[in-house]
Structure formats: structure tokens, C-alpha cells
Amino acid sequence: MVNVVPSFLATILSKERTQQPLAGLADLPNELINNLIRDLHAETLCCLAMTCKRLHYLALPIIFYRAGIDPASKNLVLREPSESFLRALRLALFVNPTTVDFYPNREVHRMLPDVCTLRVLIARMPEMERLTLNLSWFDTWLESAKGPDKVDADRWKEEMCELLDDVLLKSCSTLKVLGGNLIPSPYIPNPRRFDDSPLSQPYPPVRTPLFHRKLPPKVRRVKNPTHSSLPATGVLSSKHPQSLRKLHLHCQMLFEPPFLCWTQPTLQAHAASITDCSIKAILHREIWKNIFDNLSLPNLSKLEYLSDLKLHPWPIGLEFATIAAFLVRHPSITVLNLYGILERPTKREPPLQKVILPELVEIKAHPMFIAWLLRPTEACRNLTKVTISSELYPVTLFDYNLFDNALFVLAHRSKSIELCFQFTLMPGAVRWMEAHVSQGHTLSIVTRLHVKNLGIHSNYWLIIFRDMPAVFAEFLALFPCLDHVDFVDERACPAEVERVKVTVIKQIALKCPGMKTVAIDSQPGSPFVDLTTLRN
């Protein structure tokens, strides 16, 4: 029997079949879609994510998890992200971190795209608590690069400044810019392109450009800049909310043309809210004077100024008179860290007429600066921690006998403090300790200190410990009320620590019967060793 369908019914069925949409990828269950797309290339996943909302939320997280990043996390850490991941980051509507730690890629051609991607991300964020932009890895790549490429100077200035402005507009409370010290000189060409800036008369850089591969990294001779070549103080900006609390600028390029015309007005615009300010750069003394003389931070609590580990000769650096005047105007400072001050105070320096920094709790500085600051009898009565720091010079060696000047003023303080020695080169430090050991308990100034907790910090102490651990133990025995000592070596590997640990602890337990605990590790906060238990 033949099944004959009337012509009119066949026409209706044909129309229904053509009107029914075919099932697509987005119509499948989530589990099946994930199984189908999880092995696709990142570029394909990005294309799928742009087709519909459902695939957007299914495809892009695959790229994030491949990179070891949780897309739902409020803390986003990006270390040299791939181009495919950055594309996914630009597209991802579900990423909403409040803190970002960004390490851009090392290659020059990736600098601008990476910064642009970060700007896109920040533009979508309703608010932001912290941004850390670390360009140190790029500096490392520059040092080993054979042939420098070029960066569009105008575009780089525009993208960087707008990125930082966008961050501040998001009520950011912590901004840290690190590294980038080698970018301005060889990689941003043709300074005349910045003629629209008051900084269009660039002063010579204080570094040797990297394309002079045969020259050592010495400081160029710097001409004394005139005040006309320095940036004029900017007008206070009202577009930024006053939310910035912590500002760390360890970035050379932000203190050089053309970026200094952004840095100074920004510091002034947020002066009322900044409580923690840390600056690291290598600049002519007149430029530092212009910056600090025109800067007032009424609520400043923590100040840190750092130069290079190996200091540069005069006139590169911050002068003592400049920082002293700044400290007089900022009595609210509670924590002070200074390294590399030019023309430090001497014994002939006029004593302070009145006490400054009455709220100071912690200080780390050159011993002569500490001696100058604490010389008045009533100076810094709230002080609880002092770190006496040595310095590394390009030619001469540091004189560790200067430590005694700081110890002398500390010995006259009846209140117990936490004391720390920061050593840069150990041979001189060991000779200084040996001199105190030879003076004995009757002559050494160490025997008059009210110190219960002592720290010895250096990059090199382990090298000396292998040969003469008894020197350290005998030196520690001079402290009359010492309870705890903490040895910190940032470069030591755990295996190296273990090799000397037992010997050092035994020496300290033998020579220092009153000491209770000791910590020896490559990192601060290491576990204590109970010497009382060891002696029993």
C-alpha cells in the first residue's frame, strides 16, 4: 500500500521543517560543551567567547585555569602573561579583582600592548585597592639585550600616565611602581618630541645607556641644572579622589622627563591623604631639592628614601640639608628609612635646637644621621626600634667605627629598644666586632646598651660564619640584657643555612649564658631555637 501525502499537507510539513532552528553548540549542556572545547587553542576559545554570553562564561575560564589563575579571585597576579591570555583578560567580563600585581613582559614590542591591556581591565573595575606595576623584569631583559628596539615615546608617556591616572580615579589606596630604571635613556628616543612639556630641556641622564656595551655602568658627569629646567609645581588636581594612602615610586623614569611633570603634581594632589611614601631614584641633588622643598604631606607617617645599593658620587643624591628641612616640617612621621644621603652630619654638625619627629617609633639610617637625630636628651621618646645601616661606596670602604657614634647616643637612653645592624660588607664589620671584644666589658660601649632583641642583617654574614663563628658569639656576650638575636641573610639558601646553624647556635649557647632564643635563617620571622632547652 502506497502512503500518499496530499500536496497541501506536504507543503505545510516542509515549511515547518525549514522554520525549526538547528541545534547549535550553545544549546548543548554545559558538561558536554566543556568536553568539546577544553582542548581548543586559546585563540579559538576567545573567538567562541565573543559569539554569545553563555560561551563567554564557558570558554574564557579555560584560558585562565591553564595559566594557573582563578578568574574569581580578588587578587590578580600576572607574571609575564602570554599574548593569548592577555586577549582573554581584555574580553573577560567576569574578572573583577580589587588588587593587581602586574609584571609586564620583558620584550620591548610587548611593553605597550601589556600596559594597554591593564588599562582596559582597570577601566571595567568599579574600584581598586592596590596596584603593583613591576618593571624590574624588563630591566633585566634590557641588560642582556644585544640590540635595543625603539619605543614610541609619545605613546609610552600617554599610556603610562593615563594608566596611573585611571588607577587613582578608582579610589586606589596603594600604588607601587617598581623598576623601569633603564627605559628612558636608550629606549625612548628623540627627547625633542616632548617640546610640549615644561621639561623639554632634558638634563643629562645619570646612567650609561645600555647600547654602550663596552662601558661600565658608571655615573655620567651631571651638569648642575638650573631651576628653570626643573618642573614647575603643578596645580592641585580635583579629579582624583583623596584615597591614596601608600605611594611607592621605585622607578627612575617617573622622576625624569617627560614623566616628572606627572609625578610632582600627583604627589601634591594627594598630599593630604598620603601616609606612606617610599621613593627610590638616582637624581641630581638640585632635582631632589626641588621635589622635597615643594612637597608637604601633613599626614605622613612612614617615609623611605633609597638610593642604589652602591652609592653614586656627589652631586648625585639627596643632600642632608634637604631631608633635614623636610623632616622638620613633618613631625607626624613614625617610621623613617634613609639610605644614601649626601653629606651626612658629622660630629661638628650644630646640634638640633629643638626636638624633631616626636612621634618617631622606628628608624633605619646611617649611624651619623641617627647620632644627629637622637643627640638631644628628650629626642624621640617613643622610639622602639633602631637599625644602624652601613653603606656601599664605589671606591672607598665603609668605616664601621662610625657605628659607635650611634651606639653612644643609644646608651644614654634608659628605655629598652630593639636594635639591628645592617651590614653591606662583612670584613669591616668583623674587625669592628673584634675591636669591641678586645675592649671587654669595662670599655666597650655595647655593655651600656639596653637591648633585649638584636638583629644582624646582611647578604654576606654566612661567609664569615663559616670561618669565625666565635667572634659573633663573643660580641653578643657583651650585651648585658640580650634575650634574643635574629640573623637574616637574604641570599642564603636553606642548605647553606643548615650547614652552619648547629655550630653557630652551640657557640652562642656557650658564650652567652643569659640569652634565651636565637633565629638563624635566610628569611625574617624564622623559628626560634630555645637555648635554655639546648643547654639542659
pLDDT digits (tens, 9 = 90+) for 98-143: 999 999 887 777 878 888 899 989 998 889 999 999 987 666 555 5
- The total number of structural domains in the chain stands at 1
Question: Do the domain assignments include residue 532?
Answer: yes
Residue 342 vs residues 286, 318, 407: alpha-carbon distances, Å: 12, 6, 22
Q: Is the dihedral of CA 304, 307, 309, 314 positive or negative?
A: negative
Residue 47 binned pLDDT confidence (cut-offs 50, 70, 90) = very high
Domain range enclosing 527: 416-536
Asked if pLDDT for residue 201 goes beyond 60, the answer is: no
Question: Do the domain assignments include residue 351?
Answer: no
Question: Do the domain assignments include residue 485?
Answer: yes
Spell out the residues 6+ positions from residue 333 whose beta carbon is closer than 8 angstroms to its own: 300, 301, 302, 303, 327, 357, 359, 360
Q: Which of 203-212, 367-376, 519-528 has the highest mean pLDDT?
A: 367-376
| Residues above pLDDT 90, as percent of the chain | 44
Q: Model confidence over 139-172: pLDDT tens digits?
A: 655 555 544 555 666 787 888 889 999 999 999 9
Asked if pLDDT for residue 436 goes beyond 70, the answer is: yes
- Position 425 scores a pLDDT of 76
Strand spans (E) along 42-96? 75-79
What's the mean per-residue pLDDT of the chain? 80
- Position 229 scores a pLDDT of 38
Quote the CA–CA distance of 362 and 417 in Å, as a whole number: 10
- Position 220 scores a pLDDT of 32
For residues 249-264, give the mean pLDDT. 87
Quote the CA–CA distance of 129 and 14 in Å, as a whole number: 61
Question: Do the domain assignments include residue 484?
Answer: yes
Give which of 377, 384, 371, 289 is closest to 334, Cα–Cα: 384
- Position 258 scores a pLDDT of 78
**What are the cell numbers at 457?**
642583617
Q: Where are the alpha helices (DSSP H) in 132-234?
A: 136-144, 153-169, 184-187
Check if the beta carbon of residue 138 is closer than 8 Å to that of residue 104.
Answer: yes
- Position 16 scores a pLDDT of 52
Asked if pLDDT for residue 239 goes beyond 60, the answer is: no
For residues 36-50, give the mean pLDDT. 92
Q: Model confidence over 275-302: pLDDT tens digits?
A: 999 999 888 899 999 999 999 999 999 9
Residue 111 vs residues 57, 83, 183, 250: alpha-carbon distances, Å: 28, 11, 10, 18
Residue 358 binned pLDDT confidence (cut-offs 50, 70, 90) = very high
Task: Compare 521 and 121 and report the one with higher pLDDT.
Answer: 121
Q: Model confidence over 480-512: pLDDT tens digits?
A: 999 999 888 766 677 777 777 888 888 899 999
**What are the cell numbers at 463?**
661567609
Question: Do the domain assignments include residue 488?
Answer: yes
Quote the CA–CA distance of 128 and 124 in Å, as a whole number: 10
Task: Name which of 24-33, 141-150, 176-185 the model is least confident about.
Answer: 141-150
Task: Compare 230 and 257 and report the one with higher pLDDT.
Answer: 257
- Position 355 scores a pLDDT of 84
Residue 344 vs residues 294, 367, 370: alpha-carbon distances, Å: 22, 9, 10
Question: Do the domain assignments include residue 406?
Answer: no
- Which residues are bridge partners to 487 per DSSP? 456, 520
Quote the CA–CA distance of 280 and 111 in Å, as a whole number: 22
Task: Compare 427 and 375 and report the one with higher pLDDT.
Answer: 375
